């Protein structure tokens, strides 16, 4: 085989060829010639001290070559005809950050032991856990994160959603400014450490999906334009940087780059799926949307079950519709409506993007039955219509949450919702979220009411940090309660390392808040194991408003094996009379308590019978799940 040809796993990058060396391939149509400079350490990766090898042009913008003297562990950069040196845009590892040399990684350097893992099976009975590696433990590395997997297994988590790990500039950050899409962030550990984390999760029957950013590249360390002018486009605008060119001139390379990136995580890291960030800023008017291409390709090439999630602020249901219905075939998408209604109900504030929510019973009933609240109605905050119909979507396709990385940080003080809401209502809303027909998602530490805040943090150079701070302050000023001079002055500085350190989870919180952990664990078990709740079918659910703060949800099961969930976010409700059919017992049966947020186990005061001789008495700031029981054994004393 000619030295510039090779059977490759990934179409670009530096791949180890057993017993032959390393094959380099780079797309650089902007350049007339490309060489690779290889050194054994950082100081030698330059034209004077490194070994330089000229790559051959393939005649289509690609340059390639098999270098017999190269080996895994060597560092390299690409050298252009103007003597400029740049790291590989398709680097598999950047041990010194995005500005430093790339490292040659042997893709076969890890011994997997997860062959029995079948992947993520189906959309139902899934419990997602959003995790940021840098703050999930005090150490902020893969190896320490791995030690907490047993905790997640015991909780009942089925899918870990890891916030972005593509290499980015600085010593800390959320990860949404990645610039080397194939290189795991070096401060979290080496690529094999990431693989070990995933392998260990699979051995505990937990899937791992990766949050990826396919709408822009970060502002620092992004050298893609030194290789090609076709990766970005001025045709569209995003909120963070230049839009990626998926449908313009010479976009074939770009599309292939992104599809291959998704395949890389799936095949080389055994990732079980992806979460697509801010899909409203992924612009593609070609015949086939890039996300549809990614999902279809990954699923077709894998024998394991894969699971994809979309974030889409406009709530466009086409993302989760099947391809035959002109959808993208993504398995689920975040339901911001659910979060917003919950926050208004818990805090009483409906400012800024909460303006179109009241947190009232009818909102929760509608979301249980129909999915999104906004399916095309006028949305006064945005001064336009918002959303598309979700009537016919599978209920499990909507991911419901009351906390995530964005929303905690957007609260200003970065406080978890349990720190600003009443304990009783917080527990009731938690039950409403987990027992919904949608797919519940927790944010790290939520399961034990972590005391650690979660702020926006990003370690950029001074000039860029100032721009980010000003932009963040302007964004937060949309909230009237935050736009006060004293609160604006209080907001944490994103590039201050203390802002980052404060966000790290503290293991003592887990040990001290067993009641909240048990509440989440028990609700998750019901969600997965109860034969009626785990149907997750909104056409088998109905609801009714009982007063301005209380409502009932009824899950219809087989053979009259129904469940009713009573939620009261106000004071005790004495419902007499009770002319609501959804409260009626099934034939020859009354109701008994299956679960209550006021259980002593969860730090509550106990739950008295709800059905009494004086009709229904529904406790305030609580949620109670009832199941059928024999009338002779029910809490209701039979009347003559």
For helices 423-434 and 336-347, angle between their N-to-C axes, nearest 10 degrees: 160
Q: Catalytic pick from 88, 272, 277, 446?
A: 277
What secondary structure does DSSP assign to 500-556, as a single string?
Answer: HHHTS--HHHHHH-HHHHHHHHHHHHHHHH-TTGGG--GGGEEEEE-SSSEEEEEE-
Give the H or E element holding residue 12: none
Token representation of residue 169: 């500039």
> What values do phi and psi take at 581, rounded to 5?
-60, -25
311 is catalytic: yes
Residues in Cβ contact with 579 at an 8 Å cutoff, skipping those fewer than 6 apart? none
Helices (H), 93-182: 133-136, 142-146, 149-155
Listed residue (172, 30, 134) closest to 459, CA to CA:
172
Class of residue 319 by CB neighbours under 10 A (exposed 0-12, middle 13-18, buried 19+): buried
Token representation of residue 627: 């199941």
> What values do phi and psi take at 54, rounded to 5?
-80, 135
Positive or negative, the CA dihedral 311, 314, 315, 318 is negative
Residue 326, Cβ neighbours under 10 Å: how many?
10
For helices 336-347 and 361-370, angle between their N-to-C axes, nearest 10 degrees: 160
Give the H or E element holding residue 257: helix 252-268
Q: Catalytic pick from 268, 311, 336, 562?
A: 311
Class of residue 612 by CB neighbours under 10 A (exposed 0-12, middle 13-18, buried 19+): middle
Listed residue (508, 524, 366, 361) closest to 430, CA to CA:
524
Residues in Cβ contact with 30 at an 8 Å cutoff, skipping those fewer than 6 apart? 226, 227, 228, 229
Count each helix (H run) and each strand (E run) in the chain, helices first.
Answer: 15, 31
Report DSSP state, residue 206.
-
508 is catalytic: no
For helices 514-529 and 423-434, angle between their N-to-C axes, nearest 10 degrees: 20
Catalytic residues: 277, 311
């Amino acid at each position: 085989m000619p030295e510039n040809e090779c059977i490759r796993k990934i179409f670009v990058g530096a791949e180890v060829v057993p017993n032959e060396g390393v094959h380099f391939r780079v797309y650089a149509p902007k350049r007339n010639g490309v060489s690779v400079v290889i050194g054994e350490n950082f100081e030698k990766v330059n034209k004077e001290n490194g070994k330089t090898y000229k790559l051959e042009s393939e005649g289509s913008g690609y340059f390639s070559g098999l270098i017999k003297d190269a080996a895994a562990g060597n560092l390299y950069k690409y050298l252009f005809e103007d003597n400029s040196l740049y790291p590989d845009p398709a680097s598999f590892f950047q041990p010194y950050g995005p500005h430093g040399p790339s490292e040659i990684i042997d893709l076969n350097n890890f011994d997997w032991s997860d062959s029995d893992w079948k992947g993520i099976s189906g959309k139902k009975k899934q419990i997602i856990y959003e995790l940021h590696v840098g703050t999930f433990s005090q150490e902020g590395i893969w190896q320490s994160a791995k030690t907490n997997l047993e905790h997640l297994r015991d909780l009942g988590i089925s899918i870990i959603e890891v916030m972005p790990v593509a290499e980015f500039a600085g010593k800390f950050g959320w990860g949404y400014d990645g610039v080397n899409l194939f290189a795991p962030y070096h401060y979290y550990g080496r690529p094999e450490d990431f693989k070990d984390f995933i392998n260990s999760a699979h051995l505990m029957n937990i899937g791992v999906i990766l949050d990826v950013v396919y709408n822009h590249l970060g502002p620092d360390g992004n050298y893609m334009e030194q290789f090609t002018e076709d990766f970005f486009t001025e045709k569209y605008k995003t909120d963070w940087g230049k839009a990626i060119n998926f449908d313009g001139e010479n976009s074939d390379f770009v599309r292939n780059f992104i599809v291959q990136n998704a395949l890389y995580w799936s095949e080389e890291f055994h990732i079980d799926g992806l979460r697509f960030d801010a899909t409203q800023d992924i612009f593609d008017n070609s015949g086939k949307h890039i996300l549809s291409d990614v999902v279809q390709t990954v699923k077709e090439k894998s024998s394991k079950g894969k699971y994809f999630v979309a974030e889409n602020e406009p709530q466009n249901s086409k993302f989760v519709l099947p391809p035959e219905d002109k959808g993208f075939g993504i398995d689920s998408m975040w339901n911001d409506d659910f979060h917003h209604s919950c926050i208004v109900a818990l805090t009483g504030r409906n400012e800024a993007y909460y303006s179109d929510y009241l947190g009232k019973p009818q909102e929760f009933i509608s979301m249980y039955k129909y999915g999104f609240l906004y399916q095309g109605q006028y949305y006064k905050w945005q001064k336009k219509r918002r959303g598309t119909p979700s009537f016919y979507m599978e209920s499990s396709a909507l991911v419901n949450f009351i906390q995530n990385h964005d929303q905690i940080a957007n609260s200003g003080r970065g406080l978890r919702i349990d720190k600003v809401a009443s304990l009783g209502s917080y527990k009731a809303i938690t039950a409403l979220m987990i027992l919904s027909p949608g797919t519940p998602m927790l944010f790290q530490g939520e399961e034990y009411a972590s005391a650690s805040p979660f702020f926006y943090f990003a370690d950029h150079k001074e000039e860029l940090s100032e721009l980010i701070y000003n932009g963040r302050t302007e964004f937060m000023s949309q909230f009237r309660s935050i736009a006060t001079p004293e609160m604006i002055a209080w907001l944490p500085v994103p590039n201050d390392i203390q802002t980052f350190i404060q966000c790290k989870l503290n293991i003592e919180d887990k040990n001290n808040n067993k009641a909240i952990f048990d509440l989440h664990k028990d609700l998750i078990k019901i969600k997965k194991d109860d034969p009626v709740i785990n149907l997750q079918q909104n056409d088998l659910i109905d609801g009714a408003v009982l007063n301005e703060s209380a409502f009932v949800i009824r899950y219809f099961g087989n053979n009259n094996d129904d469940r009713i969930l009573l939620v009261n976010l106000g004071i005790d409700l004495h419902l007499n009379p009770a002319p609501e059919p959804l409260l009626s017992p099934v034939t020859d049966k009354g109701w008994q308590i299956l679960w209550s947020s006021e259980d002593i186990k969860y730090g509550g005061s106990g739950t008295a019978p709800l059905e009494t001789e004086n009709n229904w008495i529904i406790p305030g700031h609580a949620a109670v799940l009832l199941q059928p029981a024999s009338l002779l054994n029910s809490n209701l004393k039979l009347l003559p």
